Structure 1
Amino acid sequence: MIINNVKLLLEDQIVSGSIEVTDGIIRSFADTPSQLPQALDGEGGWLLPGLIELHTDNLDKFFTPRPNVDWPAHSAMSSHDALMVANGITTVLDAVAIGDVRDGGHRLENLQKMIDAVIHSQLSGVNRAEHRLHLRCELPNETTLALFEQLMDKPGVSLVSLMDHSPGQRQFASREKYREYYQGKYHLNDQQMSEFEQQQVSLAERWSTPNREGIAAHCRARHIALASHDDATAEHVAESCALGSVIAEFPTTEIAARASHQQGLQVLMGAPNIVRGGSHSGNVAAHHLAALGVLDILSSDYYPASLLDAAFRLAADERNAFTLPQAVQLITRNPARALGLEDRGLIAEGLRADLVLAKPHGEHIYVQKVWCQGRQVY
């Protein structure tokens, strides 16, 4: 396969030219057009590496499209996969929650179904993108460690994050924000909310520390990438480093983001945070961390289309120093390196031909075609 007339987004520059792919691998690229008649015309669009998503909750929405509606697993997985590649994402870490914050929560009910769907569809070759697993471990729960131990050796487990959403710290340092979020989510009256809040505090005091230490030890032994989640203080960051974390997911303050970056953790923030102009939870804005030079990875989190959009918005934002190649690395090279995936994330000879052709229309960027290992999937 040869693609002509494209702007190649390389690691540190943009080159207008062509690219040749053989057997799913980038064979060569040049700053001149190919003269072969079978070459595809990229019509002057951007050609960038396939996007790499480390933390998406998108699969969950397809399994439970409405409250109390359980959707067939094969259909849910297929629809989720199609949406990923339609947004240029060729490597996906599907996030599944272990130890829900509320007994009976639908995430916990769907846990095994979602994991089986990811593994089966990937092994059977029906996915368009490459799907792996991200185990999100909610620490203040007595079942979390046992559930993790049942799942940690499953095929495709590539990232584990340690979460503590109990009130009064991290994402919910504001008790008011905590009550507003969970009272709305679970439709609790004031008395029920007060009881729920006290229960979560008690669970955190009992289970968070042993679960954190036990899960981290398993990850170190298996060389599974570990991520902190919602670190807010320098002390949180120091604890995360001591446990062996390599990624700092969604630090909630500038202090935590700076400390994480200085300690060598890859700071991951939400692409929706960039698109919306700030955090919906009132925490530190991703564009502020970009301006400080302490933003390393973007994740689409709950909105897949935000990933490519956010990279181009960052490159156009005069408040930071990101060039377009540097901004694209936040969604390609950097997440690949954080996981130790050296075979993708860049347009370079010998790497996987995971490629995205995108074109601007007005102020927006649109995905035109997507290839995964040289095979067109969109």
Structure 2
Amino acid sequence: MALKTAGQEIERLLGLHPKGFDLSLERITRLLDTLGNPHLRLPPVIHIAGTNGKGSASAFSRALLEAAGLSVHVHTSPHLVNWHERYRIGEPGGGKLVRDDVLADAISRVAEANAGRPITVFEILTAVTFVLFSEHPADAVILEVGLGGRFDATNVIPKPAVSLIMPVSLDHQSYLGDRVELIAAEKAGIIKRGCPVVIGFQEHDAARKVMLETAERLRSPVSVYGQDFFAHEEHRRLIYQDEAGLMDLPLPRLAGRHQLGNAAAAIKAVRTAGFDISDRAIEKAMTTVDWPARMQRLTQGRLTELAPPGAEIWLDGGHNPGAGVVIAEAFAELEERAPRPLFLITGMINTKDPVGYFKAFAGMAKHVFTVPIRSSDAGIGHEELAAAALEAGISAEPVHSVENVLKLLRDSWDPSDTPPRILIGGSLYLAGDVLADNGTPPA
């Protein structure tokens, strides 16, 4: 009998178990116990939560550790194109996405151990994370929270080397609450008694206050951005400072001023976790860090060939008002350095706040083209999404696909005009579709 692929195993599970989230630790704890508690046999864990920036913080943390010659397991979610992206297995010289046969075998074993009991697919896939990471040697684990923190399936780690909480804003309100303090309390749930915590940049004082109160109650040593560590740009360099001193570093390879704070939080977290990373390794990490669909410049591929000649095409999966603000700020910087007309190609799912997202680009974007999302049945209709952009004060029109928008722009563009700057964004699902269609999936 032919061996099943990982994709086939996951599709089978999706048919058996509910989609979405049912936030609880009871089912995952029971399953891990059946599996022999692999989550208790891991290298030091850097556990990362936050509304925005946790993926970038994971990427920076991985780059820092690998630049120091260490092997690093990395768990992130969601994936963009392939399920395998959620599991990067640490190897000397740089981690690799898990092999299909290895992932399929781990999924099969975890599903068998669950024995058909009620569980969500995300919980099974999180248990797979712990099985894989416990069976392959590495120096560290970077573990990104899926949703929230307190009841997220990753939150079974009893003693992380460090808990890192990135910027918190409104998102997933139906699961986490409709006030930033409530969401912050869920994220702060990854703080463990006596274990160190790093708090990244927080726009909302109320969110920071909740985190600090949680850390104090649990007697967890805490480091706070803007108080215990700092970062700013000076002469096109990143200046980082903490109690160990000041470093003059290259600007991060990831575009956008918000990445300065993300880089700083990762540096502080990796140091707090007990890893001695040299200044030279930190410099290297800033220039090698990679994180697809976060201010990613698309310079080649099938879709890029459809755009007006000379167009800049950017891809970013940010999907809430907080992300909209930092992405818009990044494009304002690009505009200041090299002016171009900005067009948005946007798709979003129905748990988001599209008007709040679009408002960040009011007065900046010339026009929005809204598109459906092929890979999600929860997408906002592209006509409804265009109405949201209009409500936010930007002219908009619905189009059936990203490909059609790029062709439309190319066919109508006057070659004597400055080529456009195009942002494709609003959803990680859309970003994944674009990377697949462009022929440039994450590797």
Confirm or deny a common fold (TM above 0.5): no
TM-score (norm 1): 0.33
Structure with bigger strand share is 1
Higher relative contact order (CA 8 A, sep 6+): 1
